[in-house]
Amino acid sequence: MKIQILTFLLLFVAVTVVAQEDEPMRMRPQMTEIWNPEISVITPGETPADAPSDAIVLFNGVDLESEWTSGDGSKPTWLVENGCVTTFRGAGAIKTKRVFEDFQLHIEWRTPSEIVGESQGRGNSGVFLQGIYEVQVLDNYNNRTYRNGQAGSIYKQHPPLVNVCKAPGVWQTYDIIYTAPRFNDDDTYFTPPTVTVLHNGVLVQNNSKLRGPTEYIGIPEYSVKKHGPGGIMLQDHSNPVSFRNIWIREL
């Protein structure tokens, strides 16, 4: 009798195992849960304009020389006062001492309250990513110019989706998400640089793919050259444009 019971139990176990092998694996919620490594914790700024805890503050309203030089590497001559830095005719461009690849950049800018000039001659400057890809700064409040050269454009490549310029003399913001290019061995882009820009909180560039470095005359891709990390450059275009609250997060 015991032998019969044992034989039955063994047969039951064998049948159960075979049946389970024939059934497809059943997904459970835990199978698609990723727990490690944990997400890094940072402290956000009190407002969207304030630097989070992992940001590098490039200009705090007082000290320009710690993070910036003139374009030729000398001491910058831009005017620092009242919490901002302002260019003037002949001051030349300034650039960061640090270099970057992929990043999130916050920068605030203001064109002169006194309206002088029109089109490209009014409140003109630029934010150059890696020193060669320009997001245009311009007073386009009731000031028409060519669409791929106005504020929020990737200069001479992508016009902004909308014009959200504030009046002259009023502070404006750019929040820029930038992915640096990667290159093939022949200096062509394996993946081109991409730029997303929020101007005064409004999306004006949506993951725009750049054709090449910024050119005033000519076709951008003709000047593509393989490069590594680069600095942030602010342009002197002979107009007294001001900047403040500049910070960056490396991605």
| CATH 2.60.120.560 assigned to 56-250 | yes
Strand partners, 70: 94
Residue-wise pLDDT for 62-105, tens only, equals 999 999 999 889 999 999 999 999 999 999 999 999 999 999 99
Going from N- to C-terminal start, the domains of the chain cover 56-250
The one-letter code for the residue type at 9 is L
The one-letter code for the residue type at 132 is I
Q: Is the peptide bond before 193 cis (omega within 30 degrees of 0)?
A: no
Residue-wise pLDDT for 43-68, tens only, equals 999 998 899 999 999 999 999 999 99
* Whether residue 208 has pLDDT greater than 60: yes
* Average pLDDT over all residues of the chain: 91
Least confident of 17-26, 107-116, 149-158, 177-186: 17-26
For residue 25, give both structure tokens: 């694996």
Q: Is the peptide bond before 192 cis (omega within 30 degrees of 0)?
A: no
Whole-structure pTM value: 0.88
Residue-wise pLDDT for 128-171, tens only, equals 999 999 999 999 999 999 999 999 999 999 999 999 999 999 99
Place of tokens 């913001």: 173
What is the Cβ-side half-sphere exposure of residue 200, based on CA atoms within 13 angstroms?
Answer: 15
Q: Which residue has the higher pLDDT, 20 or 224?
A: 224
Place of tokens 């690849």: 101
- DSSP codes joined into one string, 61-116: SS--TTTEEETTSS----EEETTEEE--TT---EEESS-BSSEEEEEEEE--SS--
